Structure 1
Amino acid sequence: MSREEEEPASPGARLMQAPGFNLCILAVMGYLTPIDVNLFKKELERTLVKHPRFSSLLIVNNKKLGKYSWKRTKVDLEKHVIAPDLDPDMENPDAFVEDYISGLSKNQLDQSKPVWEVHVLNVKNSDANSTIIFKIDHSIGDGVSLISLVMACARKNPDPESLPVIPPKKQKKNNVKNNGLMKRLFVLVWTMFLIIFNTLSDCICFLATILFLKDTETVIKAGKGVELYPKKYVRRIISLDEVKFVKNAMNVSINDVVLGVTEAGLSRYLNTRYEKQSENGAEIIKKGTNPLPKNLRLRSACVFNLRPCAKLEDLAEMMEKEKLLKGMWGNIVGIVILPLTIVLQDDPLNYIRRAKATMDRKKLSLGHSVAFGVMKLMLMLFGNKIAAGVSTGVFRNTTLTFSNVVGPKEEINVFGHPLAYIAPSVFGFPQGLVIHYQSYANRLIIAIGADEKCIPNPHQLGDDLVKSFENIKEAVIKSGLVKGSEFC
């Protein structure tokens, strides 16, 4: 695409610009060393700036009709890289970094330049020696695309010429291939029935959520206008090896484990909140009773990637040629509504068992693909305002967003510096809580984005998620599911 040509924005990009749905990504990256700003800019120019979306203006052709396009332009890195002069011996660097990130969620990006910027904080905190925050308009691409792009800009620490490795999706085993014809036919018919039934159920639930089905008004359920409020961002880091230990012991997936941990952590957090609320209200709680409200409807909107994972080599080629490859970029995601059971379990492993049952059912459903198709059709027929209204209805009537993204298997060097962690999050949508899980080498980062009006103590929520995982791990060890474990 030449500098003068314009390319129409994709349906997903148009949707991200609708009123009340101005989504922005905040990707926090901690580094093992201080950032050499000049080297960092040089690496950006060599890689990211060559990507067509990062070197294009988002042009408003007709805001009323929701028509936008991309126009290539020359990137001035001085306008995109912000590196404030900081005191390296400041009293509380962790609080400073958190407040700085929160401040970035107060405003949208300037559309007179390509809609991204990066902030360099050369100050040591508890998890890293420096921090970089990418602020990216969601119109540029979805989370999976952007994480893959960052990986394509990276190199392995031991081998600066090699791209990092992202674990491939495991192929499903056919457990009935050696069984008789009748049994295989029965399994096929039954599987098809479950897919049809689950898809219909999910579509009905999705439609009902848009129209009238709301979550219970709990203390963490955000009210109107929450998309305009700044968010507080905190993170916790746990061992990915320990997560895999639980996964292997219970014969589940990592998705099952992190969903179970989320349910357990939220149950623990809400129990404490309602317990304190009852005490402050002078209510007497009998020993052994549960302060949680009964029959809670609490659901998560889970963003599901519908695009096959791109090869890092292809993304690297995309930047080298400065041209988008067909089908490899954009916002191609579906929304899955996950019901969460908020209850204190006597056996912590029940959280994992229930999470597995939920995820197994969602795997046998095409509801997310149908939802994406319907949203795309509505966007084409009625414009981005109506389509955005439908999308925001899903988020507004659920309580939180949950996601789990796979990162590189080994430690990497990104933009000329060794990476310590990645903690992505978002803002600009009508929910008060988002929980992202991001794997990196032997770590799993829990990134929490919270509206402090409904979650005034997001650090406590982070601690409750970590404590819940520890309880689950200890329950696995005590159960004897794995003998001779290195974590015993």
Structure 2
Amino acid sequence: MDASLPPNISLRSVKTGREGRGLCCDSLNESGSYRSDHEDGLGEPLSPIAQMFHEPGTDVYILGVVGVKAKIDPDVVKEKLAEVLLKLPRFSSSQVLDPKSGKWNWTPTEVNLDDHIVIPELKLDNMESPDKIVEDYIADLTTTGVPDSRPLWDLHLLNIKTSESEGVMIFRVHHSIGDGVSIMSLMLASSRKISDPQMLPTVPVVKRSSSVKLGLWHQVKLVWNTIIDLILFLATVLFLKDTETPLKAGPNIGYKRRVLVKGYMSLDDVKLVKKAVDATINDIVLGISVAGLSRYLNRRYGNERKSERGPIMEKNHLPKHIRLRTQLWVNIRPVPGIQELMEMVDKCKNPTASTWGNNIGYAVLPLAIQLREDPLDYIRQAKASVDRKKASLEAPCVYFFAKLISKLFGTKVAGLVNFNIFTNCTLWFSNVPGTSDRITYCGYEVSYYAPTCFGQPNGLMINVVSYVDKLIFVISAAEETIPDPHQMWDDIEVSLKLIKDAALASTKTH
């Protein structure tokens, strides 16, 4: 892992140690470090899934950006982090490779928060906007990781006024520490409602699909779909590749510079579409994304054929039969909601295998890239694709086989399987529930939060998260593959408008 840092960042030397007392009674010692209660030695090994996130091509970080409505006081942030973050063992342990077993182990470590909280000196150039400076800073962070000699997380505090916030917090957490649901739960457990500062934020209750509880025919269909999906999964591991479109990155894209672009959609607009088409919000989010990607790809192909007369977007420049697939990430915990995780973190309960960690699988989902006459067809097609995946056990099977392959053949083989899947597909897609409440984080009112990942061998990731009355779309795009991610968001936004107008017209005709 490249542990270099972006310009203008200076970190003090690391203070580590394997002595400490009291996991849930961590306290600030005289040196200003926090210690946790673990025995000497390497400690417990990482789970097989966490081990895989150290393999080449799957060495992935979760990156979260939080805009706040006031200047940030580092001492306040440090105090708030100590109340929750450092009481979780994974954030107060280094990951050390055991040369004998070849496995990574959690190693108790004395944590000095000054080593993890970075306060860069940002110089505002007259030619650059504050938003562009923050965007470039985040892009630089995606080319590096946290030094292996300390727990694999850090927090960057940017006191710069942008168009949306007075300050920006950027959190990097290695994916071996936890998945997106865990990290979102950690953030929300560290937050409080503005309307009631003593209360945790509320999050929507997610219900599991009831397909496995239905009749014999549905059981047969579930088994059949799962078999077909696993055959296609194996084919993708071995040879089945996506079409080489302008969205398809090369295999060595991992720690190359990625630009993060975010945009907003009104939940009222999404609900309007939901009323016109019998679909879930997740179906609509995916359908709008596919519509935007179709529009964006048509533009890219059209730009390659500039000699043709007429405006680019008035013609269909898309090749026929594009194969373009995404990893659709799925939370496979027995209880799908994040309420239990939030309460566990807030009360400093010991995490269990079924709550904290990497309890996620993924399904390989084909995206129908084409220009459609009826914009609502994007939503209908997305719903059909997602419903088909709901009637399959592909995601939990992928999780199970990843663990099994790790145990039987080692994490290098399991990591290679994942690497082949990632590189043979085009993008990652994730939708994590947020909160409908306005919240404070570390004592500061939140303007927005934007989660994503970097390090994966894909040129594009789209994350969608809800906050108050909006959906926040987060596009993470590798610069050398997608040089104009702002245009991609514009195309997604235009697609929403077209779909919304079609929904309004459909509602009026009924």
TM over 0.5: yes
From 55, 71, 74, the equivalent of 1:34 is 71
Q: How does 1:11-410 map to 2 (within 5 A)?
A: 11-62=48-99, 66-86=102-122, 91-170=128-207, 188-279=215-306, 282-283=307-308, 289-307=315-333, 308-309=335-336, 312=339, 315-318=342-345, 320-321=347-348, 323-410=350-437
- Relative to 1, partners in 2 of residues 1:250 and 1:40: Cα closer, same or farther, differing over 3 Å? same
Partner SS state of residue 316, structure 2? coil
- Relative to 1, partners in 2 of residues 1:196 and 1:313: Cα closer, same or farther, differing over 3 Å? closer
1:442 aligns with 2:466: no
User: One-letter code of the match for 1:166?
Assistant: V
User: One-letter code of the match for 1:69?
Assistant: N
CA contact (8 A) 1:164 1:408 kept: yes
CA contact (8 A) 2:68 2:167 kept: yes
In 1: Cα distance, 2:237 partner to 2:310 partner:
37
The sequence identity of aligned pairs, in percent, is 42
Equivalent position of 1:180 in the other structure: none
Partner SS state of residue 370, structure 2? coil
TM-score computed with the length of structure 2 as normaliser: 0.87
CA displacement, residues 81-130 of structure 1 (integer Å, 9 cap, x when unaligned): 11123457964111101100000011121111111000011112122221
* CA positional deviation for 1:249: 2.9
In 1: Cα distance, 2:50 partner to 2:231 partner:
26
Equivalent position of 2:487 in the other structure: 460
* CA positional deviation for 1:466: 1.1
* CA positional deviation for 1:423: 0.8
User: One-letter code of the match for 1:82?
Assistant: V
CA contact (8 A) 1:278 1:284 kept: no
In 2: Cα distance, 1:418 partner to 1:32 partner:
6
In 1: Cα distance, 2:454 partner to 2:225 partner:
31
Which stretch shows the higher mean deviation, 83-92 or 230-239?
A: 83-92
CA contact (8 A) 1:215 1:297 kept: yes
- Relative to 1, partners in 2 of residues 1:348 and 1:129: Cα closer, same or farther, differing over 3 Å? same
TM-score computed with the length of structure 1 as normaliser: 0.91
Partner SS state of residue 155, structure 1? strand
CA contact (8 A) 1:87 1:123 kept: no
- Relative to 1, partners in 2 of residues 1:478 and 1:201: Cα closer, same or farther, differing over 3 Å? same
CA contact (8 A) 1:66 1:383 kept: no
- Relative to 1, partners in 2 of residues 1:321 and 1:257: Cα closer, same or farther, differing over 3 Å? closer
CA contact (8 A) 1:61 1:69 kept: yes
* CA positional deviation for 1:73: 2.0
CA contact (8 A) 1:403 1:437 kept: yes
CA contact (8 A) 1:433 1:450 kept: yes
In 1: Cα distance, 2:49 partner to 2:209 partner:
30
User: One-letter code of the match for 1:165?
Assistant: T
In 2: Cα distance, 1:172 partner to 1:217 partner:
34
* CA positional deviation for 1:164: 0.6
Equivalent position of 2:18 in the other structure: none
Partner SS state of residue 499, structure 2? helix
CA displacement, residues 13-37 of structure 1 (integer Å, 9 cap, x when unaligned): 1010112221011111111222122
CA contact (8 A) 1:269 1:461 kept: yes
- Relative to 1, partners in 2 of residues 1:259 and 1:214: Cα closer, same or farther, differing over 3 Å? same
CA contact (8 A) 1:14 1:66 kept: no
In 2: Cα distance, 1:131 partner to 1:440 partner:
17
* CA positional deviation for 1:380: 0.6
Q: Which runs of 5+ in 2 are unaligned?
A: 1-22, 24-36
User: One-letter code of the match for 1:105?
Assistant: T
- Relative to 1, partners in 2 of residues 1:171 and 1:199: Cα closer, same or farther, differing over 3 Å? closer
Partner SS state of residue 300, structure 1? strand
User: One-letter code of the match for 2:506?
Assistant: S
User: One-letter code of the match for 1:4?
Assistant: E
In 2: Cα distance, 1:49 partner to 1:389 partner:
33
Which stretch shows the higher mean deviation, 320-329 or 124-133?
A: 320-329
User: One-letter code of the match for 1:460?
Assistant: Q
- Relative to 1, partners in 2 of residues 1:205 and 1:98: Cα closer, same or farther, differing over 3 Å? same
In 2: Cα distance, 1:482 partner to 1:116 partner:
54
Which stretch shows the higher mean deviation, 70-79 or 301-310?
A: 301-310
In 2: Cα distance, 1:482 partner to 1:165 partner:
37
Count matched residues: 469
Partner SS state of residue 421, structure 2? helix
User: One-letter code of the match for 1:276?
Assistant: N
CA contact (8 A) 2:344 2:351 kept: no
User: One-letter code of the match for 2:39?
Assistant: E
In 2: Cα distance, 1:172 partner to 1:118 partner:
37
Superposed CA RMSD in Å reads: 2.2
- Relative to 1, partners in 2 of residues 1:19 and 1:311: Cα closer, same or farther, differing over 3 Å? closer
Which stretch shows the higher mean deviation, 317-326 or 219-228?
A: 317-326
- Relative to 1, partners in 2 of residues 1:171 and 1:217: Cα closer, same or farther, differing over 3 Å? closer
Whose relative contact order is higher, 1 or 2, with alpha carbons under 8 Å and at least 6 apart? 1
Q: Which runs of 5+ in 1 are unaligned?
A: 175-184, 484-488
In 2: Cα distance, 1:362 partner to 1:300 partner:
13
* CA positional deviation for 1:310: 5.6
In 1: Cα distance, 2:340 partner to 2:478 partner:
38
